[in-house]
Amino acid sequence: MSTSFKVLLLDGVDAICAEVFTKRGIQSDQPGKLEHAELLRILPEYSGLVVRSATTVTAEVLEHAPNLKVVGRAGVGVDNIDLKAATAKGVLVMNTPDGNTISTAEHTCGMILSLARNIPEAVASVKSGKWDRKSFMGTEVYGKTLGIVGLGKIGTEVARRMASFGMQIVGYDPFASEEHAERNGIKLLDLDEVLGASDFLTVHTPLTEKTKGLISLASAEKLKPGIRLVNCARGGIIEEADLPVLLEKGVIGGVALDVFSSEPLTPELIAMVQHPAVISTPHLGASTEEAQEKVAEQIADQMADALENKGYKGSVNGKSIALLANDDVQPYLELAEKLGTLCGQLMPKHSSELTIEYNGESARFSELLTDGVLKGLLGAYITDSVNLINARTYATDRGLSIKEISSNQSETYRDLIRVNLGKDGAYTQIAATIFGEKDYRVVEIDKFRIELKMGGDMLMYQNQDVPGMLASVAGALASQNVNIGALSLGRGAKGQDAVTVLQIDKKLSDQEFEKVKALNGVRELKYFSLPE
């Protein structure tokens, strides 16, 4: 056996993990639970570290591991690993994004059926010696509507399974294509339409600013009365503190939770799950023998390949590490991510194809830059879960076809990245380039030449190029105490169509936005925001 590499296995990872390392000629140690001080003491011995969710790999832990080359997460989420610190130290981080899919989907389906037939409460009643059939009258799922928020791998697998029970499936995912939805028997709707149509609703998204508290007292009026909720994704998507009131008012008829905003549960959460209409399990979505064995085996093989420089499948930050040594590509990558962030806010929902054109020097890095565009595009929806490694997977899982066109010949600008968003939206094509250090600018929107610095809060609209249009918009903003910091105007021939982008000093409220949108002559008003 080669002992050039040693791997530390923590968090009770399945025994097959050690078996795989042994077969690959790599020594592994599985000491059980370690005190923090002891972990820090022994870390210098190891080239690899395998964790599940219990161990947090902080910057401090990484500082005490001078020989560490790779950290493997036997599971999907890597939120317990400091990616920035790992990348800065050149430590590869890997995960197994597919290993838990079936287990989590099956657990979700079990939760749906348990809610419909009151199975947990009936079990508890019989075990207590009672025989009370009348108290546990259920409902069939056949013919009912199941709403799914998030149509990645898990959400899609739930749809397939519950369709076989005769449920009608509706779903919301702005990046899922119509073809993907149709292929899996899902009718795509807007989020509010899904909330209003669903007898049962299950969520399969990361926890982001947009999904936090997705179901709460604030959204109560949007919900179909008596809706039953399931969350096997991330705690906090359903506002737990609001559930007792929603249940007492009859807004929701029941809720099944496998994940919580705080785990283990706080006293407040323990009190909440005591409600008779709440079903709860202790984060069991991935807790099957098959899933744990699968992810343990996968992570061991992936890490062994990485340690032996044979492959880097499942790497979360591999490209980022490589880029640290390549100063040439960094500006293009920043441009690509900013452009993707802009496109994600402008592209029509459920697009099936995205075409990215590279002209000039940027064409040398086209594959990587496409990953950057997709990372920016999906980032607002998937947040910390999306990175340069998995962005394509997230996109293709939702049926998005990606096409690249590269040319070493420059156009008006030395380097240009152009994204074609499809024909169905108000804005179909955006192009951007680099003017100077950290100076990234949009230079083309559809057929219009424009010059827009990429950063801050923006308003964009179409209008006929006639006198007074800009004054009307500026007046509407000024009347609401909204200041304009900069503007850019693109137009065709005099008096014909134009596009205007205003950089404003704050994000508009819905009321402020509607006041501008109502102006005569303003078309396709869009708000978007880009990091400074």
User: What pLDDT is recorded for position 309?
Assistant: 86
Nearest CA among 355, 332, 357 for reference residue 407: 357
Chain mean position to CA 75: 16
Residues 198 and 270 in one domain: yes
Both 404 and 501 in one domain: the answer is no
Encoded tokens for 482 = 């909204």
Give the end-to-end CA distance of the chain in Å, rounded to a whole number: 52
We report the CATH number of the domain holding residue 225 as 3.40.50.720
Q: What DSSP element (H or E) covers 250?
A: none
Known active-site residue 107: no
Antiparallel, parallel or unpaired: β 415-420 and 429-436: antiparallel
Sole residue written with tokens 């200041």: 483
Looking at the fold, whether 337 and 203 belong to one and the same domain comes out as no
CA distance 16 to 23: 10
Three-state secondary structure call for residue 325:
coil
Is 130 within a domain?
A: yes
pTM, two decimals, is 0.79
Q: Are residues 378 and 247 in the same domain?
A: no
- The one catalytic residue in 64, 161, 283, 491 is 283
Position 66: which residue type?
P
Are residues 110 and 187 both part of a single domain?
Answer: yes
Catalytic residue among 63, 182, 263, 514: 263
Based on the fold, state whether residues 382 and 400 are members of the same structural domain: yes
The CA-based diameter of the chain, rounded to the nearest angstrom, is 85
The span from the CA of 433 to the CA of 444, in Å, is 10
Judgement on whether residues 296 and 245 belong to the same structural domain of the protein: no
Q: Distance between CA atoms of 73 and 150, rounded to whole angstroms?
A: 23
Active site residue 283: yes
Could you tell me if residue 45 is inside a domain?
Answer: yes
Last residue of a domain, one of 454, 482, 501: 454
Give yes or no: residues 445 and 500 share one domain: no
36 flagged as catalytic: no
pLDDT at 1: 39
Rg (CA), the chain: 26
Each residue's pLDDT expressed in tens, for the chain with a length of 532 residues: 345 899 999 999 999 999 999 999 999 999 988 999 999 999 999 999 999 988 999 999 999 999 999 999 998 878 899 988 998 888 999 999 888 899 999 999 999 999 999 999 999 999 999 999 999 999 999 999 999 999 999 999 999 999 999 999 999 999 899 999 999 999 999 999 999 999 999 999 988 778 899 999 999 999 999 999 999 999 999 999 999 999 999 999 999 999 999 999 999 999 999 999 999 999 999 899 999 999 999 999 999 999 998 888 888 888 777 776 677 888 999 999 999 999 999 988 888 889 999 998 888 889 889 999 999 999 877 755 677 877 888 888 888 999 999 887 666 788 899 999 988 888 999 999 999 989 999 999 998 999 999 999 999 999 888 889 999 999 999 999 999 999 999 887 776 789 999 999 999 999 999 999 999 999 999 999 998 8
CATH code of residue 336? 3.30.1330.90
| Helical (H) or strand (E) element with 408 | none
- Both 301 and 450 in a single domain? no
Task: Check whether residue 41 and residue 135 sit in a common domain.
Answer: no
Which residues, in sequence order, are bridge partners of residue 446? none
* Domain's final residue, options 405, 420, 454: 454
**Rounded distance between C-alpha atoms, residue 139 and residue 118, angstroms:** 9
- List the CATH number of the domain containing 479: 3.30.70.260
394 in any annotated domain: yes
Three-state DSSP class for residue 47: coil
CA pair distance 431, 437, nearest whole angstrom: 18
User: What is the DSSP pairing of strand 456-464 with strand 497-504?
Assistant: antiparallel
Q: Across 318-393, where does the E strand assignment appear?
A: 353-360
CA distance 264 to 344: 36
CA distance 87 to 93: 8
Integer angstrom CA distances of residue 401 from 156, 350, 469: 18, 11, 38
1 occurs within a structural domain:
no
- pLDDT on residue 2: 46
Q: Is residue 183 part of a domain?
A: yes
Question: Do 168 and 263 have their domain in common?
Answer: yes
Domain annotation covers residue 218: yes
In the chain, the number of structural domains is: 4
Question: Whose structure tokens read 């064995």?
Answer: 293
- Does a structural domain hold residue 285? no
**Claim to verify: residue 126 and residue 75 sit in the same structural domain:** no
Annotated active-site residue in 107, 228, 234, 398:
234
Of 415, 438, 454, the last residue of a domain is 454
CB within 8 A of 436, min separation 6: which ones?
A: none
Q: Which domain holds residue 193?
A: 101-280
Q: Which residues have CB under 8 Å from 423's CB, separation 6+?
A: none
The alpha carbon of residue 208 and the mean position of all alpha carbons in its chain are separated, in whole angstroms, by 8
- Residue carrying structure tokens 């939770």: 257
In a domain, 300, yes or no: yes
Residue with tokens 């947009």: 210
